Amino acid sequence: MVSALEKIKLAKNASGSLAGASTNTKNDVLAQIAALLPARATEILAANALDLNRAVESGMTASLQDRLRLSHERIQAIADATSKIVSLGDPVGDVVRGMTLPNGLKLSQVRVPLGVIGVIYEARPNVTIDIAVLAIKSGNAVVLRGGSAAEHTNSVLVKLLQDALAIAGIDADAVQTVDEFGRDGAMVMMHAVGMIDVLIPRGGAGLIQQVVQEAKVPVIQTGDGVVHIFIDESANLDWAVDIVHNAKVQRPSVCNAAETLLIHKNAVARVLPAVLDKLVSDGVTIHGDQATAAIYEGTVAATEDDWIAEYHDLDLAVKVVENIDEALAHIAKYSTKHTESIITEDIQNAERFLAEVDAAAVMVNASTRFTDGGEFGFGAEVGISTQKLHARGPMGLQELTSTKWLVRGAGHIRS
Amino acid sequence: MVSALEKIKLAKNASGSLAGASTNTKNDVLAQIAALLPARATEILAANALDLNRAVESGMTASLQDRLRLSHERIQAIADATSKIVSLGDPVGDVVRGMTLPNGLKLSQVRVPLGVIGVIYEARPNVTIDIAVLAIKSGNAVVLRGGSAAEHTNSVLVKLLQDALAIAGIDADAVQTVDEFGRDGAMVMMHAVGMIDVLIPRGGAGLIQQVVQEAKVPVIQTGDGVVHIFIDESANLDWAVDIVHNAKVQRPSVCNAAETLLIHKNAVARVLPAVLDKLVSDGVTIHGDQATAAIYEGTVAATEDDWIAEYHDLDLAVKVVENIDEALAHIAKYSTKHTESIITEDIQNAERFLAEVDAAAVMVNASTRFTDGGEFGFGAEVGISTQKLHARGPMGLQELTSTKWLVRGAGHIRS
């Protein structure tokens, strides 16, 4: 059997084939993927059934089973999403900056693929295609490590991706999976210095922390959102009710869902009951401080754990603050630097919040659910970076590129 | 004594003071530094004398002593360099991208400081000021670890930097040194997850590899240049002679100096003797393959070690290749991805070289010595990144920033 390291080497050796491909050729690959997905649905669903049977036997929760499950409709949806990436602009070759130096030397900084991208992610077969498609469109080879629970499905999907590459004349080795090596495969990826140009872990905080601690290759941290909304003294009541509800209830399991509500003490009587009523009517449990419990029946007493909780569920921590300073201090202490939003009518507080909060996305009078590559118009996203190096916020095609300087002279020497 | 970790925490806690400072305030700090340097020359030179005495006793080489030595003239030159940074544009607050979504939500991606930059560097006191000045101008706190041999000098310089910050109303803790902890200080920096946003090692390949292997915080690799020049079949003779001489001889100790010369077999008789004559006349030793030795007297037989050598001295490896394919393959195998240059009159070969060579800077008919922040018009540089993530090539002020998304709504919720 080929080892995990050998598979990563295959991806590296094939990366030049993809990096040098024209946009047309890369779009051909994507069109092939979109065509092969429904054409191979029977084979894909058979593999998926194997994974699902094993999942049921192992007692996997219903919601995780749902993420693992494919159907004809879901396969077509993945194919349609792939077709959409064809129409997105290709960042490779874009000139970022350029200048002619006083001595006549011509410089241009152009976008180039990163090379080989490693992704460690959860057992969701749609992610296998989504990520490979973004990598291919941006000219990058990719090494995938999906959750073991999706191993059979991913194996069929990776073969499909390789076939699509080959049909378009690209080295099929540019897409690899190390699923069959389990955790060892992930470990080899983390140590593949000089072969993997960037490693992107997607999943729970535990996985991400493990990768950050263990990896020797460059890592981009994603996800992980203890997201706050601060209702300022002057907040518009209707906006507060709708935004907090949308941010908490629309899709509580995702990283841009709100987890903690902060509210100015002078807005409590006017705004808080209506905000909480609407949440509670949709089944949200309120974990509040004493001031919240004093005015709102049914509040569960919040502990220190609630301020650091990423519930990913119908729970919300609520704290009454003295003023915007206390709100900013609380956010600075507990934020995971994903998304933070203020609801205010006060322009000075809005601008201060935008300037002082250190996060990938800082919002005024908007739901935190908007921090998303699709919503931002990127077409798709590999993840949402919560670190400051290279990429911050939703990562689309451009965030999967590096640059190089092209220098054109006519016998130029340095004096 | 305050521990190394406590000093890093001080820098982190002070980073907001600098991140929120206006360009005018940051320029005030720089003006204070430029004024304090000559004003405190006596104190600086006394500390420098202590370091130099210890260096002489420990048998430090003359060239390293020279890098450690300050004088009134050198102090003034550092002050003048600081004053120049005042006139450079401040990248913080620049809008990188912006758009209004179909639903009216307004997005802008703006540059923000990285936060806390850690730098591990050699015993060169001028670098202490250079790096701190770039960090301050870009709104970043900085933790410095210079070579132990410069400890007394750096201690006085860091105090000067802190005084300049305080005079301008910035939290003086934003500049810290961990020099007094020796290698332990560097180790603490490498593990300061959540406190140091990026760590930049400057120095030999050994130091850089150690940091890459050991660091848990994000790292940007710099330096390390096995730089090639390829003389193509059609190369202009005069350009070849001048460019190779300039790239090798002008300053052989730096990372953008040429280390290996590749030459097309059909250019050997016409071009190689003149190129090597000019090098040898300036004391360069030629480490050549058999084909080189066959036509050029005095060639030292090259071994495998010569193709990976970063001589940093008046030595050049020379290899005759069959064609551009062999040149590209040699570069792909041995390049450290810093700078590579082709000398050619053939437009197709020039474009192919620019497209296929994977390096921070790829050149046509120009000396590799141009890969430099000063030459590129950045005003100064923290180092030259040879990695692909975040920054590639010379790192100026812009490369010391991250971004954040500002989102302005009017009660917007996601549907």
Spell out which residues of chain B touch residue A115, defining contact as CB-CB under 8 Å: 358, 388
User: What pLDDT does residue A412 have?
Assistant: 98
Give the closest residue to B156 by CA, choosing from B175, B182, B133, B136: B175
Sheet holding B339-343, edge to edge: A95-100, A106-113, A401-412, B361-366, B339-343, B227-231, B258-264, B315-321, B285-288, B300-301
Which residue of A343, A404, A408 to mutate against B (max B Cβ within 10 Å)?
A404
User: What pLDDT does residue A63 have?
Assistant: 82
Spell out which residues of chain B touch residue A406, defining contact as CB-CB under 8 Å: 354, 362-363
- With an 8 Å Cβ cutoff, are B365 and A406 in contact? no
**CA of B142 to nearest chain A CA: how many angstroms apart?**
16
Single-letter amino acid, residue B40: R
Nearest-by-Cβ selection for B414 from A369, A389, A409: A369
User: What pLDDT does residue B89 have?
Assistant: 94
**CA of A408 to nearest chain B CA: how many angstroms apart?**
5
**CA of B308 to nearest chain A CA: how many angstroms apart?**
16
Spell out which residues of chain B touch residue A219, defining contact as CB-CB under 8 Å: 218
Which residue of A92, A105, A110, A405 to mutate against B (max B Cβ within 10 Å)?
A405
Which residue of B13, B241, B389 to mutate against A (max A Cβ within 10 Å)?
B389
Q: What are phi and psi of B411, to 5 degrees?
A: 80, 20
Indicate the DSSP class of residue A265. Answer: G
- With an 8 Å Cβ cutoff, are B362 and A407 in contact? yes
Phi-psi domain of B393 (left: phi exceeds 0; alpha: psi -120 through 50; beta: other): left
**CA of A24 to nearest chain B CA: how many angstroms apart?**
17
Q: pLDDT 10s per residue in chain A (415 long)?
A: 789 999 999 999 999 999 999 999 999 999 999 999 999 999 999 999 999 999 999 999 988 898 899 999 999 999 999 999 999 999 999 999 999 999 999 999 999 999 999 999 988 899 999 999 999 999 999 999 998 899 999 999 999 999 999 999 999 999 999 999 988 999 999 999 889 999 999 877 788 888 988 999 989 988 778 999 999 999 999 999 999 999 999 999 889 999 999 999 999 999 999 999 999 999 999 999 999 999 999 999 999 999 999 999 999 999 999 999 999 999 999 999 999 999 999 999 999 999 999 999 999 999 999 999 989 988 778 889 998 999 999 999 999 999 999 999 999 999 9
**CA of A377 to nearest chain B CA: how many angstroms apart?**
8
**CA of A47 to nearest chain B CA: how many angstroms apart?**
34
Question: Is this complex scored with an ipTM above 0.90?
Answer: yes
Q: What does CATH list as the number for B4-222+390-408? A: 3.40.605.10
- With an 8 Å Cβ cutoff, are B243 and A413 in contact? yes
Q: Between vectors from CA B374 to CA B370 and to CA B379, what angle results, nearest 5°?
A: 155
What is the number of CB-based contacts under 8 A between chain A and chain B?
Answer: 204
User: What pLDDT does residue B254 have?
Assistant: 86
- With an 8 Å Cβ cutoff, are A243 and B356 in contact? no
* Spacing of C-alpha A351 from chain mean position: 27
- With an 8 Å Cβ cutoff, are A393 and B405 in contact? yes
Nearest-by-Cβ selection for A239 from B19, B392, B411: B411
User: What pLDDT does residue B176 have?
Assistant: 97
Strands A339-343 and A227-231: parallel
- With an 8 Å Cβ cutoff, are A404 and B360 in contact? yes
Rounded to two decimals, what is the model's pTM?
0.92
- With an 8 Å Cβ cutoff, are B407 and A358 in contact? no
User: What pLDDT does residue B375 have?
Assistant: 92
Q: Name the closest residue on chain A to residue B385, using Cα atoms.
A: A404
Check: CB of residue A409 under 8 Å from CB of residue B363.
yes
Nearest-by-Cβ selection for B354 from A105, A366, A406: A406
In Å, what is the CA distance from A232 to each residue of A249, A306, A310, A330, A401? 21, 21, 23, 14, 39
User: What pLDDT does residue B1 have?
Assistant: 75
Spell out which residues of chain A touch residue B410, defining contact as CB-CB under 8 Å: 239, 365
Nearest-by-Cβ selection for B363 from A354, A377, A409: A409
User: What pLDDT does residue A146 have?
Assistant: 92
Measured N-to-C along each axis, helices B72-86 and B41-57 cross at an angle, to the nearest 10 degrees, of 120
Contacts of A239 (CB under 8 A, 6+ apart): A343, A365, B410, B411
- With an 8 Å Cβ cutoff, are B250 and A414 in contact? yes
* Spacing of C-alpha B11 from chain mean position: 23
Spell out which residues of chain B touch residue A389, defining contact as CB-CB under 8 Å: 114, 197-198, 218, 220, 389-390, 402
- With an 8 Å Cβ cutoff, are B364 and A408 in contact? yes
Share of chain A above pLDDT 90, in %: 87
Check: CB of residue A287 under 8 Å from CB of residue A300.
yes
Distance CA A223, CA A164 (A): 30
User: What pLDDT does residue A206 have?
Assistant: 82
Q: Name the closest residue on chain A to residue B405, using Cα atoms.
A: A361
Nearest-by-Cβ selection for A405 from B220, B360, B387: B360
User: What pLDDT does residue B272 have?
Assistant: 98
**CA of B217 to nearest chain A CA: how many angstroms apart?**
8
Neighbours of B38 (CB within 10 A): 14
Spell out which residues of chain A touch residue B109, defining contact as CB-CB under 8 Å: 393
Measured N-to-C along each axis, helices A23-39 and A125-137 cross at an angle, to the nearest 10 degrees, of 160
Distance CA B374, CA B339 (A): 16
What superfamily does domain A227-370 belong to in CATH? Answer: Aldehyde Dehydrogenase; Chain A, domain 2 (3.40.309.10)
User: What pLDDT does residue A1 have?
Assistant: 75
Distance CA A196, CA A218 (A): 8
Q: pLDDT 10s per residue in chain B (415 long)?
A: 789 999 999 999 999 999 999 999 999 999 999 999 999 999 999 999 999 999 999 999 988 899 899 999 999 999 999 999 999 999 999 999 999 999 999 999 999 999 999 999 988 899 999 999 999 999 999 999 998 899 999 999 999 999 999 999 999 999 999 999 988 999 999 999 889 999 999 877 788 888 988 999 989 988 778 999 999 999 999 999 999 999 999 999 889 999 999 999 999 999 999 999 999 999 999 999 999 999 999 999 999 999 999 999 999 999 999 999 999 999 999 999 999 999 999 999 999 999 999 999 999 999 999 999 989 988 778 889 998 999 999 999 999 999 999 999 999 999 9
Nearest-by-Cβ selection for A364 from B219, B250, B408: B408
User: What pLDDT does residue A147 have?
Assistant: 86
Nearest-by-Cβ selection for A392 from B219, B369, B403: B403
Residue spans of the domains in chain A: they are 4-222+390-408, 227-370
Single-letter amino acid, residue B278: K
Nearest-by-Cβ selection for A411 from B20, B242, B405: B242
- With an 8 Å Cβ cutoff, are A101 and B375 in contact? yes
Which residue of B110, B308, B404 to mutate against A (max A Cβ within 10 Å)?
B404
Distance CA B51, CA A316 (A): 59
- With an 8 Å Cβ cutoff, are B20 and A375 in contact? no
User: What pLDDT does residue A99 have?
Assistant: 95
Spell out which residues of chain B touch residue A198, defining contact as CB-CB under 8 Å: 388-389
Spell out which residues of chain A touch residue B197, defining contact as CB-CB under 8 Å: 388-389
DSSP codes joined into one string, B67-130: HH---HHHHHHHHHHHHHHHTSPP-TT-EEEEEE-TTS-EEEEEEEE-SEEEEE--S-HHHHHH
Distance CA B149, CA B59 (A): 12
Nearest-by-Cβ selection for B388 from A197, A250, A388: A197
Spell out which residues of chain B touch residue A410, defining contact as CB-CB under 8 Å: 239, 365
**CA of A180 to nearest chain B CA: how many angstroms apart?**
27
Spell out which residues of chain B touch residue A354, defining contact as CB-CB under 8 Å: 406
